[in-house]
Structure 1
Amino acid sequence: MGGAGLHLAVSPRFHFSTTTCCRRPQDQCLGLTQGTVLKRKPKERGAAAVEMAIVLPLLLVILIGTMEFGRVFNVQNSLTQAARAGARHAAIHHSDATLDVEGTVLAAAPSLSGLAVAVSDNAASCASGADVEVTTSVDLASMTGFLDIGWFGSPGLFPITLTGVGVMRCGG
């Protein structure tokens, strides 16, 4: 059975040939004998390139979507943390004449330094026992620009407005 022209068709993509020698012992557990090699059929040339052309765009969309989601999640957490730090500062120092809530908010989130963060608060009307509320917001553009475009007639995902809110009791 080890003839030079013997070909066994096992799957539509591959065939076994006994024309070259295979010295891997693990092939014997597959029912292959010494000297059989798995080869691609000649008409399957370029199939891997076509498969990659089909799968690669989907993988890139997943990768870009993951990066964009991570960035949005990070900015949202930073906005909320900055608003909380500003509310804490306003609650403790509400009676100070030099109360700078916006400066405290922007200093609390250095990762937001390149973004136009809007800060609003009601610290001027804060009295002991009342609540102070600090709100931070930003219009976040896409990191890649890829998700700015709408697909199939829908609007794009970006720019997206993110808001963080911090509330604390004044003087206590």
Structure 2
Amino acid sequence: MSTIARLPEPVESMGAASWKRRRGGRHRRGRARGQAAVELALSLPLLLMMFLVVVETGRAFYIAISVSNAARAGVQYGSQNLSTAADNAGMRAAAANDAPNIVGMTTTATHFCQCANGNASTCLSTDCAGSHRLLYTQVNTSAPYTPLVNFMGILPPITVPGKAIMRVVQ
């Protein structure tokens, strides 16, 4: 029995695609890793900016909601009866107690009258001939909002207002 030994094919006779696939596998994987690192380096600043915008928007809405709710709490205290309607300090305290985490919030409380038919009133008993007088309380609040990061002047510091008006129960 004769056995014919096969010799390996010379490199020149291998298919060109097969040879490149064998030889370039490691090289391509290394290039893909480098490409991923470059893509991450280019997209990371954009992702961080988007994250900061979301955080700053959330902070701004938190302050706006808190300031508005504080005004509502103050006016609810003042609208209970005639004696609390005259208690401006109590309305301011109720508003401040509702938003203890808001630094620098200012509060003003007032009361005013209006005739039931829509005419203006000075809160005197002689006003509103032919209709009755309605007493209202009003609380205005405001708080400063300063962004944590300066976005090249895009988002400047602002004052966030809050206002609530409610009729006094008589």
TM range, smaller chain: 0.5 to 0.7
Counterpart pick for 1:130 among 117, 135, 138: 135
**TM-score normalised per structure 2:** 0.66
For 1:55, the equivalent position in structure 2 comes to: 43
Alignment partner, residue 91 of structure 2: 101
In the other structure, the counterpart of 1:162 is: 160
- RMSD of aligned residue pairs (Cα, Å): 3.3
Query: Judging changes above 3 Å, is the alpha-carbon distance between structure 1 residues 162 and 70 closer, same or farther for their aligned structure 2 residues?
Result: same
TM-score computed with the length of structure 1 as normaliser: 0.65
Structure 1: state its 5+ residue gaps.
10-14, 20-36, 151-155
1:146 is displaced (CA, Å) by 3.2
Contact 1:6/1:17 (<8 A) preserved: no
* Aligned counterparts, 1:14-53, within 5 A: 17=22, 40=28, 42-43=30-31, 46-53=34-41
Q: Structure 1 6/141 Cα, relative in aligned 2: closer, same or farther at 3 Å?
A: farther
Contact 1:129 1:171 in 2 (8 A): no
Which of the two has higher C-alpha Rg?
A: 2
Unaligned runs of 5+ in 2: 1-8, 114-122, 124-132
Name the structure with the higher helix share. Answer: 2
Distance in 1, matches of 2:33 and 2:59, equals 41
Aligned AA (1:139): P
Alpha-carbon deviations, 1:107-157, whole Å to 9, x = none? Answer: 011231xx100112213x466722211111111111x2233x32xxxxx31
Do the aligned partners of residues 45 and 88 (structure 1) sit closer, same or farther apart at CA in structure 2, a change above 3 Å counting? Answer: closer
Deviation string 1:82-128 (CA, Å, 9 cap, x unpaired) is 1000001111154246552111101011231xx100112213x4667
Q: When the two structures are aligned, how many residues end up with a matched partner? A: 138
Structure-2 separation of matches of 1:167 and 1:52:
52
Please list the CA deviations of residues 30-79 of structure 1 after superposition, one character each: whole Å capped at 9, or x if unmatched. Answer: xxxxxxx7872555563222211211111011100000111111111111
Q: Which runs of 4+ in 1 moved over 4 A?
A: 3-9, 15-19, 41-45, 96-99, 125-128
Whether contact under 8 Å (2:106, 2:143) holds in the other structure is: yes
Residue 120 of structure 1 aligns with an amino acid whose one-letter code is: T
Instruction: Give the Cα separation in 2 of the matches to 1:103 and 1:59.
Output: 42
* 8 A Cα contact 2:78 2:87, kept in partner: no
Q: Percent identity?
A: 28
Task: Find the counterpart in structure 2 of residue 89 from structure 1.
Answer: 77
